[in-house]
Structure 1
């Protein structure tokens, strides 16, 4: 189950354990239990500090990660492999006594929670967003004895997934009620529980030289370039990483043949943290005013002053705006085939969008689903030829061009999709359980004041230095009118905007 290379790496981590760990496992003679038993036995063989004790727990197979004779609150129902292997390793280290790598203020906030909270997170092992949520909830469980958390591997608990109508991962239940669906950072979870955001650390009196709004590739690059100039730099981010966090394989970052989106943005955040940059997470900008300073209003109530501003709020998946789209989001409608695809194994699926993203999704889903229908509004697909060739080679894929989606229908979840042939005007119905929408991106600029010029698509218009029509206000990345939306281009435009802001400041 664990290859030799993985065992070598794991053994190195186990040498960092600060105390003994006991796996309290609930197992029977089923195939799933035997897999979990084999996994735990293999892990225990790598360190004398690990022991396995069988017991009875809520789910079988499952296991707790505890100090001997104690309960940590962390459980795994199923195998913590794939993307969750890192969650397993971190749980071992943190339960053993190694401090989680979060700010002391966050630890104090977690300790303030005085009511019992029992979290359960349904994941798929191919989901690259799930570990963020699992690891955040595990940290909360380690820090506060009132909190417990169980990771549930959906593939091993398919009946429970069906009973609870889990159709997107990660999906979190709190005290048996659905709490959230989708990637969340620890700060977002705490805000959702406590109902407020602590803005006491936000300096509203002193101004920044450069303030960056957005934590994607453009925002990260802008912050690094600004900070390297030795000027006071701040970042306002909802969640660090942006749209790239929803990207799995990236093969076109120059000098890096392959990296996954979350890994890349973790490296970018680590790079930013090497400089004196104030990162204000879980904050959303709501308005911009230009007076003596540029003043940025936040949803939390704070107003931040800055001498120059870089807007790098990125973009999000475009909606198709048809009946059923909002109603069935995360109930059959999805956007990430890597995360949610396994939930539709053996089922009929529709993919809306014939560009690279849509065709890549269809190829991935064809390996899991029973049949995949690709719907493209235009007379032909727009994806690269190499992707089209691969798609057409798959026996369980049907491509439908000239297709305008009219509605997505169902009761509690998606049951069918209705589309119109734009040539004949005839309507057709596809009986599908999942609909993946990948029709391009829309810039996150609807909150901007009218004083900032944008295109008719909402993209911020910038010059060669990244500056908008307002002196001192710059923009970068996918929220601008750049001709191409690519990670490396966003990083470059972030650097350009920061350098442009610096040149603006020295000329004032």
Structure 2
């Protein structure tokens, strides 16, 4: 586990990220971080083991570009803001509050999930993703709310692929919210959804995708949940 003296982003990676952010970030991106403030008293149900590390990671990252801003919110002290943003647990990071904060990460994004987080920051800033032209066109048909939850672990490269696709869809459509959830940090959600392996993707609570699927199939699943056909008169 990292200590306060250790950096979560190695020096050589910071230099590379500075160059990447300078090249790829077009508009400002606010990272809204819901956390638990340190307390000398242990309160049952309010333990956030990874909140300090997430804060450290975000501070290191936002220091690499003037276009990145970190906003820290005390989850328990500012419950109204949490409810408004649809945040029910910590640590949670919402990317791009300027565009609604639909791209979200729950937990500490390390391992294979750190590149996902960085790529999502760049996509939010640019307003465009790596999805195919056809996928972007199809996602414009989404006309009702879609909530995507992708359960991942830092050591799962396959999980990273699904996380990238989910976040890209949230960038492309204002009707889509995509949560990438670090499964090991949220055992209550793992039990609720019966997560036995990752990636596991839940769409609007009723549609489940196990493992990695291709972009076209994933988009089709989202369309099934998010396209309301006009009623015949």
* Alignment TM-score > 0.5, same fold: yes
User: Which residue does 1:125 correspond to in 2?
Assistant: 154
Asked whether 1:50 is paired with 2:80, we answer no
Q: 1:7 & 1:36 partners in 2: Cα distance?
A: 16
The separation in 2 between residues aligned to 1:160 and 1:42, in whole angstroms, is: 29
Q: Tell whether the 8 Å contact from 1:72 to 1:95 is kept in structure 2 after alignment.
A: no
Q: Which has the higher helix share?
A: 2
Deviations 1:208-232 (A, max 9, x none): xxxxxxxxxxxxxxxxxxxxxxxxx
Structure-2 separation of matches of 1:101 and 1:43? 22
Is 1:7 aligned to 2:7, yes or no?
no
1-structure distance, mates of 2:9, 2:110: 9
Query: 1:113 aligned to 142, 146, 152, which one?
Result: 142
> Relative to 1, partners in 2 of residues 1:65 and 1:194: Cα closer, same or farther, differing over 3 Å?
closer
Asked if residue 22 in structure 1 is aligned to residue 66 in structure 2, the reply is: no
Q: C-alpha separation between the residues in 1 aligned to 2:103 and 2:120?
A: 8
CA distance in 1, matches of 2:103, 2:118: 12
Whichever of the two has the greater Rg, that structure is: 1
Cα distance change on mapping 1:116 and 1:191 into 2, 3 Å: same
What is the alpha-carbon root mean square deviation over aligned residues? 1.6
The corresponding residue for 2:110 is 81
Q: 167, 181, 189: which one pairs with 2:210?
A: 181
Does 50-59 or 122-131 show the bigger shift?
A: 50-59
Instruction: State the TM-score, normalized to the length of structure 2.
Output: 0.78
Correspondence list, 1:379-458, <5 A: none
2:59 alignment counterpart = 41
- Distance in 1 (CA, whole Å) between partners of 2:181 and 2:118 is 16
Q: Deviations over 1:293-329 (max 9, x none)?
A: xxxxxxxxxxxxxxxxxxxxxxxxxxxxxxxxxxxxx
Using the alignment, how far apart are the partners of 1:173 and 1:78 within structure 2? 17
Map residues 326-365 of structure 1 onto 2, 5 A cutoff: none
Q: Which residue of 1 aligns with 2:94?
A: 64
> TM-score if structure 1 supplies the norm length?
0.37
Distance 1:54 1:194 in 2: 34
| Larger proportion of strand | 1
Matched, 1:153 2:182: yes
2:120 is aligned, of 91, 109, 129, to: 91
Deviating runs (4+, > 6 A) in structure 1? none
CA contact (8 A) 1:62 1:75 kept: yes
Using the TM superposition, give the Cα deviation of residue 71 of structure 1 relative to its aligned residue in structure 2, in angstroms: 1.1
Q: What's the secondary structure of 1:86's corresponding residue?
A: helix
Distance 2:128 2:162 in 1: 18
Aligned counterpart, 2:4: none
- Say if 1:17 and 1:98, in contact at 8 Å, map to a contact too: no
Equivalent pair of 1:123/1:170 in contact (CA under 8 Å): yes
Corresponding residue number in structure 2 for 1:421: none
Relative distance call for 1:108 and 1:85 in structure 2 (3 A) is same
Stretches of structure 1 that go unaligned for 5 or more consecutive residues are 196-508
Among 142, 150, 160, the alignment partner of 2:171 is 142
Count of aligned pairs between the two proteins: 194
Partner residue, 1:102: 131
Aligned to 1:297: none
Q: 2:127·2:172 contact (CA, 8 Å) conserved in 1?
A: no
**1:191 and 2:220 equivalent?**
yes
Tell me the equivalent position of 1:171: 200
